[in-house]
Structure 1
Amino acid sequence: MPTDVPEPQAVCDPISRSAIFMVATIKAGPESASTVCALCADVAGLVRAVGTRAPAANLSCVCGFSSDGWDTLFGAPRPANLHPFREFGEGQRRAIGTPGDLLLHIRADHMDLCFELAAQLMERLGSAVSVVDEVHGFRYFDLRDMVGFVDGTENPRGREAVDFTLISDQDPAFAGGSYVMVQKYLHDMAGWDSLSVEAQERIIGRKKLSDVELAEGVKPSSSHSSLTTIEKDGQEVKILRHNMAFGRPGAGEFGTYFIGYASSPEPIEQMLENMFVGRPPGNYDRLLDYSRAITGGLFFVPSASMLEELADRDPQPSTNESAATG
Structure 2
Amino acid sequence: MSRRVPIEAQPVDAPLTCAATFLVLTINDTPDAFKTVRSTLAGVDSLAKNVAIRDLNASFSCTVGIGSNTWDRVTGLPRPAELHPFPEVKGATHTAVSTPGDLLFHIRSERRDLNFEFEKQLIDALSDAVKVVDETVGFRYFDVRDLLGFVDGTANPVGPAVPESILVAQEDEGSAGGSYIVVQKYFHNIKGWRSLSTEQQKSIIGRTKLENVELDDADADKQKAHKTLATIEDENGDEHDILRDNMPYGSPGKGEFGTYFIGYTRRLWVLEKMLQRMFVGVPDGMHDRILDYSTAVTGSTFFAPSATVLAGLGDD
TM-score by length of 2: 0.95
**Are the equivalent residues in 1 in contact too, given 2:206–2:217 (CA < 8 A)?**
no
**Are the equivalent residues in 2 in contact too, given 1:64–1:300 (CA < 8 A)?**
yes
Map of 1:210 onto structure 2: 211
Deviation at 1:91, TM superposition (A): 6.6
Deviation at 1:4, TM superposition (A): 8.7
Map of 1:317 onto structure 2: none
Map of 1:224 onto structure 2: 226
- Structure 2 SS opposite 1:57: coil
C-alpha RMSD of the superposition? 1.7
Counterpart Cα distance in 2 of 1:167 and 1:129 = 28
Deviation at 1:154, TM superposition (A): 0.7
Counterpart Cα distance in 1 of 2:26 and 2:217 = 44
Map of 2:29 onto structure 1: 28
**Are the equivalent residues in 2 in contact too, given 1:5–1:176 (CA < 8 A)?**
no
Counterpart Cα distance in 1 of 2:96 and 2:218 = 29
Question: What are the equivalent positions in structure 2 for 1:193-272 lying under 5 Å apart?
Answer: 193-216=194-217, 221-232=223-234, 233-272=236-275
One-letter code aligned to 2:177: G
Map of 1:324 onto structure 2: none
State the number of aligned residues: 311
One-letter code aligned to 1:223: A
Of residues 90-99 and 240-249 in structure 1, the stretch that sits farther from structure 2 once superposed is 90-99
**Are the equivalent residues in 1 in contact too, given 2:28–2:129 (CA < 8 A)?**
yes
- Structure 1 SS opposite 2:54: coil
Counterpart Cα distance in 2 of 1:22 and 1:59 = 16
Say whether residues 1:114 and 2:137 are aligned partners. no
Map of 1:322 onto structure 2: none
How far does the alpha carbon of each residue in 1:2-41 deviate from its partner, in whole angstroms, 9 at most, with x for none?
x997211010111111000000000003411000000121
**Are the equivalent residues in 2 in contact too, given 1:228–1:271 (CA < 8 A)?**
yes
**Are the equivalent residues in 1 in contact too, given 2:92–2:280 (CA < 8 A)?**
no
Question: What are the equivalent positions in structure 2 for 1:300-311 lying under 5 Å apart?
Answer: 300-311=303-314
**Are the equivalent residues in 1 in contact too, given 2:26–2:132 (CA < 8 A)?**
yes
Question: What are the equivalent positions in structure 2 for 1:134-145 lying under 5 Å apart?
Answer: 134-145=135-146
Counterpart Cα distance in 1 of 2:238 and 2:31 = 46
Deviation at 1:71, TM superposition (A): 2.6
One-letter code aligned to 2:228: S
Counterpart Cα distance in 2 of 1:7 and 1:287 = 38
**Are the equivalent residues in 2 in contact too, given 1:79–1:171 (CA < 8 A)?**
no
Deviation at 1:89, TM superposition (A): 1.7
Counterpart Cα distance in 2 of 1:301 and 1:281 = 32
Deviation at 1:244, TM superposition (A): 0.2
Deviation at 1:43, TM superposition (A): 0.4
Map of 1:87 onto structure 2: 88
Counterpart Cα distance in 1 of 2:204 and 2:218 = 14
Of residues 70-79 and 125-134 in structure 1, the stretch that sits farther from structure 2 once superposed is 70-79
Map of 2:16 onto structure 1: 15
**Are the equivalent residues in 2 in contact too, given 1:221–1:227 (CA < 8 A)?**
no
**Are the equivalent residues in 1 in contact too, given 2:217–2:228 (CA < 8 A)?**
no
Counterpart Cα distance in 1 of 2:25 and 2:276 = 26
Counterpart Cα distance in 2 of 1:178 and 1:17 = 23
Map of 2:52 onto structure 1: 51
Map of 2:125 onto structure 1: 124
Say whether residues 1:191 and 2:192 are aligned partners. yes
Question: What are the equivalent positions in structure 2 for 1:246-325 lying under 5 Å apart?
Answer: 246-312=249-315
What percent identity do the matched residue pairs reach?
49
